[in-house]
Amino acid sequence: DAKTTQPNSMESNEEEPVHLPCNHSTISGTDYIHWYRQLPSQGPEYVIHGLTSNVNNRMASLAIAEDRKSSTLILHRATLRDAAVYYCILRDVWLYAGNNRKLIWGLGTSLAVNP
Amino acid sequence: GAGVSQTPSNKVTEKGKYVELRCDPISGHTALYWYRQSLGQGPEFLIYFQGTGAADDSGLPNDRFFAVRPEGSVSTLKIQRTERGDSAVYLCASSQEGDEPLHFGNGTRLTVT
């Protein structure tokens, strides 16, 4: 799986939007972009995923660049409960359909939310 | 509904001892994963089960580590002759066959003294 690059940390104020970037310049055509987040002392939690088109769900939005070499996770109104480490992960749909289920996790972005 | 349950939540053991960590996946999830997470790092893949069989155990660090899932539901990660370097949070996740997302438990924090 291709690798991703994320800033080590970011800071936001409560009630403001947050844009978390992820670079994946070596992404292949069959790589899905997945985002998970991990709150303190908890296991990771799925946030959103997409392939080419922008995606929205109740938690967040995912904006994918036209060349797919980068993406941005958007939290529309940050709350204190959004303080977590956010991981951007690529998953090859063809490898995953077999038995290659190893998600490769980087260090993620630690998001701090100020009241 | 019930999520992935891991027990114990904390385990302290002495170097050289044997430990077992248990994972109860979400009912009906056929895929089960074990990951290990050291402080400040992302999760590291250990093993993946599809049903009762280990489809990929390439992440197990050495032969001291072993995992089973005899009835295709509950899984146990077993560590023999524990070493201080085994100290980490051990995470279990489950998913439906061929589906995302992974649902993680809150992990077992293992401390080897």
Q: Mutate which of B26, B32, B35 to disrupt the A interface (most A C-beta within 10 Å)?
A: B35
- Given A43, A101, A107, which is nearest B91 (Cβ)? A43
pLDDT above 70 for A92? yes
Q: Mean pLDDT throughout B13-38?
A: 96
Chain A CB within 8 Å of residue B53 CB: no
Closest A-chain CA to B32 = A101
Model confidence band, residue B93 (pLDDT cutoffs 50, 70, 90) = very high
Residues 89-108 of chain B with CB under 8 A from chain A are 91, 93, 98, 100-107
Q: What is the pLDDT of residue A103?
A: 83
Give tens-digit pLDDT for B28-78.
999 999 999 999 999 999 999 999 999 899 999 999 999 999 999 999 999
Q: Mutate which of B30, B46, B56, B89 to disrupt the A interface (most A C-beta within 10 Å)?
A: B56
Residues of A in contact with B98 (CB under 8 A): 97
Q: What is the pLDDT of residue B64?
A: 98
- Given A99, A104, A105, which is nearest B56 (Cβ)? A99
pLDDT above 80 for B97? no
CA separation for the pair A73, A67 (Å, rounded): 16
pLDDT above 80 for A26? yes
Cβ pair B33:A101 closer than 8 A? yes
Model confidence band, residue A102 (pLDDT cutoffs 50, 70, 90) = confident
- Given B42, B58, B102, which is nearest A108 (Cβ)? B42
Mapped to the 3 state alphabet, what secondary structure does B38-59 carry? CCCCCCEEEEEEECCEEEECCC
Radius of gyration over every alpha carbon of chain B, rounded to an integer in angstroms: 13
pLDDT above 60 for A1? no
Cβ pair A102:B48 closer than 8 A? yes
Q: What is the pLDDT of residue B73?
A: 95
Q: In Å, how far are A6, A11, A32, A72 from B100, measured between CA atoms?
A: 22, 29, 11, 20
Q: What is the pLDDT of residue B48?
A: 92
Nearest 5 degrees, angle CA B68-CA B41-CA B91?
Answer: 25
Q: What is the pLDDT of residue A101?
A: 75
Closest of B93, B108, B107 to residue B13, by C-alpha: B108
Model confidence band, residue B2 (pLDDT cutoffs 50, 70, 90) = confident
Model confidence band, residue A99 (pLDDT cutoffs 50, 70, 90) = low
Q: In Å, how far are A58, A106, B106 from B92, measured between CA atoms?
A: 25, 18, 8
